[in-house]
Amino acid sequence: MTQITPSASKMPTPRSNLKNWIGVIPFFLFALLFIFLPSLRLFVGGFTNADGQFTFENVIELFTQKYILDSYLLSIRISAVTALGGGIFGFLLAYSVTVGGLPKPLRSALVTFSGVASNFAGVPLAFAFVATLGRTGFVTAVLKDVFGYNIYDAGFNLYSFLGLSLTYMYFQFPLMVLIMAPALDGLKREWREAAENLGANSMQYWLRIALPVLLPSILGAMILLFGNAFGAYATAYALTGGRLPIITIQIGAQVRGDVLHNPNLGNAMAMGMVFIMAITLAGYSWLQGKSERWLR
Amino acid sequence: MNMTARLRKIPFWSSVWFILGLLYFVMPLLATFEFSLGMERDVIGFKAYESAFADPEFLETFGYSVFLATMTIMVSIILIVPTAYWIRLRLPEARRIVEFITLLPFVIPAIILVFGLIRVYSSPLEVPFLDRLLDTKIVLVQPLTNFKFGTNVLIIGGYMVLGLPYMYRSVDTGMRTVDVRTLTEAAQSLGASWSTIIVRVILPNIRTALLSGALLTFAIVVGEVVLASFLGVPAFGPYLFLLGQHRAYEPAALTFTTFLLTWAAMGIIQLITGGQEQVSGAH
Amino acid sequence: MRTKKFVFEMLVLLVIVSMALASCAPAATEAPAVTEAPAVTEPPATEPPAATEPPATEAPADPMAALYEAAKAEGMLSTIALPHDWCNYGGVIDAFKAKYPGIEVNELNPDAGSGDEIEAIKANMDNKGPQAPDVVDVGFSFGEPNKDLFMPYKVSTWDSIPDGMKSADGYWYGDYYGVMAFLVNTDVQPDVPQDWPDLLDPKYKGQVAQSGDPRTSNQAIQAVQAAALAFGGSLADAAPGLQFFADLNAAGNLIPLIANNGLVAKGEIPVRLTWDYNGLAAIDSFAGNPQAVVVIPKTGQFAGVYVQAISAYAPHPNAAKLWMEFLYSDEGQLLWMEGYCHPARETDMRARGVVPEELSAKLPDVSQAVFPSAEQLVSAKELITTQWDSVVGADIKAAE
């Protein structure tokens, strides 16, 4: 319900600003202990060499080693692709059960399913896709036997960039649905009615009113999807065995290393990831600010 | 209404998207299920399920993970609800920072967070620099992992961090759709204390949103592998992972089952709370 | 208002940074393993067993009893990286628990690799809690380089462990070995390859996979080294092995998936490169569905040895020693055999006739096994991990 809250109804200005911050101390303490300290450990580690001294060499390696730069690029590519694809189709799915008018139970089913599916990742997800689209997969077999079409002969390969992207979508679509469904709820019916009153058709309504309002939310959600894919590790490892050298796998190799084992380089790589993500998050924050106007 | 009229009511494109989505989501699950039925040669049966559930470790680890998930959810609620409430009411300036913090688990790759947590809390926490001055070490806190209890604290903390974005977002959405300010004023004018307000007024109103956050956290905790295996706790994630290394059919059976169970749990709760999320401000 | 917030944030930042810097420093200055060495001199009566006691079965009663009491007083043993289906560790742990009640076996991180185990010791140097492993079971090449992290201990049956498999001063000791083999799902691929070059045949297109990532996994690296034997290489020269995998990949026969038994059973990976004992255990678990066989390549039985060691920082040293005594007793060694592994004391046990006929028959013939030395393993590891990407070509897919 839109409410015009006159400023008079605001709570009286608190006595001292500092006192108010006490209320959020528990939260900040938690963040300090469990987020900042560990992250700082990584930050400091990125600037340490094997003997424990301060050094820039790890960071320099980030820029000079081709395989590291390639890994970042690959990660960015796959995150961008799945964010875009996931964003578009996820939006369409969310649309279909909200504004799109499908029966309410379907919405419940989709939203609850999305809750579970958005966390379905790693070995079980990889196996599920192998069982579906692998050489001996269910769908591969059906296409071959029933339609006579062998996708592997046609060049498709699950163990590739395309295959990994398809697999990532399993948690990208649901995440988009979870974020967009409430946002789509924010599209007030009055706007549609008003537009129709003024003679707009569906296309015009969407292009001129709905999409512009939703765009910040959509873009913001896509950025979250980007981050989600960017940080993914277990699924890629399980599906491609480290063959697709995305940056998280490189970090894993350095940090867990049986062999390569330079955890400080791994820390530096992680810092690079954090930097990239920080930029995208800044974009997200900015977009959030814009969307608040309409959805509050 | 006759058939064609009823059909006309079903939106075409929405159905198309939904059906496509349905196909995409269902097929991998179906493939997993089909494989799990194949344990006995030439027989379609539930042997894999029998074998999987007969393993005593399954119940132990699953039970332990459920316990961890419950604790994580409870502590998260205790931490997040008052914080979000406080920010809405008294401290809007903090909003940006807090939201930023809740997005950090997305930004920092999980594998680093986990390793960072383990490294930091496996060694004693000391007062900085004092040891150089006084030539002794003053240990503030013994490594958490020295004690079983400490390990549980650490792992719950870790899980809270992983679930933070979802929990906070749910609570925030819940509070947004319910006018917290007016409720508080009304309660205060009736003479309620802060704790009464939070527990008896705010919490029930954001119940549905809380539940959705809780279920997401539950899914995360039960499926988490890295933190649990490195801290050596008998959780479900490592158990499933290890099973997958050596057994063929049982992991597929377990994966399928846990997926369905979690979905069913979410569904039942939605039913019970009657889909309250549609309330206020949205059509 | 703004400045107050800013100051607050700066203060917080300062506290964080100083705490972080401090928490890093101690780790570097921490007393290294040297100070733990006193353990060497102390072995509580387990050193001179046979001398005083009438040799009953495998280990004399009295010193063992004393060790058992000491272990029971500690109450717990922390193991790490011991999957139950690997060499029948499940059976070993159960038997240990049954034989020595009162000692809880705390199993850490069963899916860890050798590197993770070493990391776990290092990370828990100050930590006497249940997170710190007492004993480790690592790849052969991890023994000598890490001996500073181990506590030397010679089990009562020390002399019957072959010299090539143990460190002279007792820091680490070989426990079992197997040879590199192919696990083949014969339902999907009835044409069983007999040797490495066979795998290059087009009929195995998209059917062969490693059991791990060759840049980090012991098993995968040694598969490459094993292949070298078939292509003109030797234990000291793994380059031909790398070239073989490059060819295998170029032919499209090698899939990048990390093979596990589920994928073999599914038929997605009909040929899995793994240790023979893993393959044989898999066949047991398949129980006929699918049918599968284990083939040891004709050109070269490449032996992979794993070694046991006690952590120098073990919170429960006596329990650790008791565990070792158990593992190296005839009973323990036989339990490993049931997992299809060749125990270190096999030659000695066979000579004394303690190996049951049926058990002996279950194990594949590895009389021709070649054992790489630690230096050969390390240099091969160097070569393979650094060159895998460039030679075998992970770049292929990235370009898509």
Q: Kindly provide the residue ranges of all beta strands, DSSP E only, lying in C96-247, ordered along the sequence.
A: 104-108, 135-139, 150-151, 173-185, 208-210
Q: What is the pLDDT of residue C153?
A: 92
Mean of all residue pLDDT scores within chain A: 82
Residue B280 has pLDDT above 80, yes or no: no
Q: Is B225 part of a structural domain of the chain? A: yes
| Bridge partners of residue C179, in order along the sequence | C303
Main-chain phi, psi angles of B253, to 5 degrees: -60, -45
Q: Tell me how far apart the alpha carbons of residues A119 and B162 are, in angstroms, rounded to a whole number.
A: 11
Q: Which residues contact A180 (CB under 8 A, 6 or more apart)?
A: A90, A91, A94, A95, A217, A218, A221
C322-350 residue pLDDT tens: 999 999 999 999 999 999 999 988 888 88
Q: Tokens at residue B276, please? A: 């309250």
Residue C194 has pLDDT above 60, yes or no: yes
Q: Tell me how far apart the alpha carbons of residues C387 and C394 are, in angstroms, rounded to a whole number.
A: 11
Q: Which residues of A touch C8 (CB under 8 A)?
A: 21
Does the beta carbon of B223 lie under 8 angstroms from any beta carbon of chain C?
no
Q: Tokens at residue A247, please? A: 């940056």
Average pLDDT over residues B253-276: 77
Would you say A268 and A280 are in contact if contact means Cβ atoms under 8 Å apart? no
Within a 10 A sphere around the Cβ of C48, how many other Cβ atoms?
12
Q: What is the pLDDT of residue A88?
A: 94
Q: Is B133 part of a structural domain of the chain? A: yes
Q: What is the pLDDT of residue A294?
A: 59
Residue B221 sits in a domain whose CATH number is 1.10.3720.10
Per-range mean pLDDT, top range of A281-285, B65-69, C210-214: B65-69
Angle at C124 between CA C120 and CA C129, to 5 degrees: 115
The CA-atom distances, in angstroms, between B73 and each of B65, B102, B218, B236 are 12, 15, 8, 17
Three-class SS state of C250: helix
Rg (CA), chain C: 24
Q: What is the pLDDT of residue C186?
A: 92
Residue C303 has pLDDT above 50, yes or no: yes
> To the nearest whole angstrom, how far is the Cα of A37 from the nearest Cα of chain C?
6
Would you say B197 and B187 are in contact if contact means Cβ atoms under 8 Å apart? yes
- DSSP code of C238? -
Q: Is B25 part of a structural domain of the chain? A: no
Residue B6 has pLDDT above 70, yes or no: no
Residue A154 has pLDDT above 50, yes or no: yes
Amino acid at B201: V
Q: Tell me how far apart the alpha carbons of residues B177 and B180 are, in angstroms, rounded to a whole number.
A: 9
Residue C26 has pLDDT above 50, yes or no: no
Cβ of B89 within 8 Å of Cβ of A121? The answer is no
Does the beta carbon of C129 lie under 8 angstroms from any beta carbon of chain B?
yes
Q: Tell me how far apart the alpha carbons of residues A132 and A136 are, in angstroms, rounded to a whole number.
A: 8
Q: Which residue has the higher pLDDT, C19 or B148?
A: B148
Q: Is B140 part of a structural domain of the chain? A: yes
Q: Tell me how far apart the alpha carbons of residues A56 and C310 are, in angstroms, rounded to a whole number.
A: 37
Would you say C397 and A244 are in contact if contact means Cβ atoms under 8 Å apart? yes
Q: What's domain C51-177+304-364's superfamily in CATH? A: Periplasmic binding protein-like II (3.40.190.10)
Cβ of A185 within 8 Å of Cβ of B80? The answer is no
> To the nearest whole angstrom, how far is the Cα of C86 from the nearest Cα of chain B?
8
- Percentage of residues of chain B with pLDDT beyond 70: 82
**Option in B28, B219, B280 nearest A170 (CB):** B28
Of the pLDDT bands very low, low, confident and very high (cuts 50, 70, 90), residue A292 is: low
Q: What is the pLDDT of residue C280?
A: 92
Q: Which residue has the higher pLDDT, C397 or B102?
A: B102
Q: Tokens at residue B27, please? A: 């097929």
- DSSP code of A34? I
Cβ of A127 within 8 Å of Cβ of C255? The answer is no
Q: What is the pLDDT of residue B211?
A: 76
Q: Tokens at residue C210, please? A: 């490693």
B187-210 residue pLDDT tens: 888 888 877 887 888 888 777 778
> Strand C76-80 to strand C104-108: parallel, antiparallel, or no bridges (unpaired)?
parallel
A156-207 residue pLDDT tens: 888 889 999 999 999 999 989 988 887 787 777 788 888 888 888 888 888 8
Q: Tokens at residue B69, please? A: 């998930």
Q: Which residues contact B96 (CB under 8 A, 6 or more apart)?
A: A285
A205-208: long-range contacts, CB 8 A cutoff, minimum separation 24: none
B115 to chain C: nearest residue by CA? C123
Angle at C180 between CA C174 and CA C182, to 5 degrees: 150
Q: Tell me how far apart the alpha carbons of residues A137 and A143 are, in angstroms, rounded to a whole number.
A: 10
Continuous H helices in B90-137:
94-107, 110-122, 130-134
CA dihedral C93, C95, C99, C105 (to 10 degrees): 20
3-state helix, strand, coil in chain A (%, to 5): 75, 0, 25
Identical topology for domains C51-177+304-364 and C178-303+371-398: yes
Amino acid at C293: V
Give the domain extent around B146.
Answer: 55-234
B138-182 residue pLDDT tens: 444 555 555 567 778 888 988 999 889 888 888 887 787 777 888
Q: How many CA atoms lie within 13 A of C175 on its CB side?
A: 28
Mean of all residue pLDDT scores within chain C: 79
> To the nearest whole angstrom, how far is the Cα of A286 from the nearest Cα of chain B?
11
Main-chain phi, psi angles of B199, to 5 degrees: -75, -40
Cβ of B241 within 8 Å of Cβ of A251? The answer is no
In terms of CATH architecture, what is C178-303+371-398?
A: 3-Layer(aba) Sandwich (3.40)
Q: What is the pLDDT of residue B25?
A: 94
C195-248 residue pLDDT tens: 999 999 999 988 999 988 787 778 888 999 999 988 888 888 889 999 999 999
- DSSP code of A12? P
Would you say B128 and C22 are in contact if contact means Cβ atoms under 8 Å apart? yes
**Ramachandran assignment for C109, one of left (phi > 0), alpha (psi -120 to 50 degrees), beta (any other):** left
Cβ of B281 within 8 Å of Cβ of A2? The answer is yes
Q: Domain tally for chain B?
A: 1
Residue C49 has pLDDT above 70, yes or no: no
Q: Tokens at residue A34, please? A: 């469990």
Interface test with A, best of B111, B119, B246, B278 (most A CBs within 10 A): B111
Q: Which residues of B touch C107 (CB under 8 A)?
A: 232
Query: Where do the structural domains in chain C lie, given as residue ranges?
Result: 51-177+304-364, 178-303+371-398
> Strand B139-141 to strand B125-126: parallel, antiparallel, or no bridges (unpaired)?
antiparallel
Q: Which of B167, B159, B172 is nearest to B96 (CA)?
A: B172
Q: Tell me how far apart the alpha carbons of residues C388 and C256 are, in angstroms, rounded to a whole number.
A: 12
Main-chain phi, psi angles of C216, to 5 degrees: -135, -20
Does the beta carbon of C265 lie under 8 angstroms from any beta carbon of chain B?
yes
Of the pLDDT bands very low, low, confident and very high (cuts 50, 70, 90), residue C396 is: very low
Would you say B170 and B210 are in contact if contact means Cβ atoms under 8 Å apart? yes
> Strand C301-311 to strand C369-370: parallel, antiparallel, or no bridges (unpaired)?
parallel
Domains of chain A: 54-295 (1.10.3720.10)
Does the beta carbon of C21 lie under 8 angstroms from any beta carbon of chain B?
yes
Residues 86-105 of B with CB under 8 A from C: 93
Residue A8 has pLDDT above 80, yes or no: no
Q: How far is C-alpha C232 from the chain's CA centre?
A: 28
Q: Is B118 part of a structural domain of the chain? A: yes
> To the nearest whole angstrom, how far is the Cα of B167 from the nearest Cα of chain A?
12
Does the beta carbon of A161 lie under 8 angstroms from any beta carbon of chain B?
no
A21-69 residue pLDDT tens: 777 888 888 888 888 888 887 777 778 776 767 778 878 878 888 888 8
Q: What is the pLDDT of residue B214?
A: 83
Q: What is the pLDDT of residue C46?
A: 37
Q: Tell me how far apart the alpha carbons of residues A54 and A169 are, in angstroms, rounded to a whole number.
A: 41
Q: Which residues contact B24 (CB under 8 A, 6 or more apart)?
A: A169, A170, A173
Average pLDDT over residues C365-374: 84
> Strand C208-210 to strand C271-275: parallel, antiparallel, or no bridges (unpaired)?
parallel
Would you say C135 and C311 are in contact if contact means Cβ atoms under 8 Å apart? yes
Rg (CA), chain A: 24
Would you say A128 and C263 are in contact if contact means Cβ atoms under 8 Å apart? no
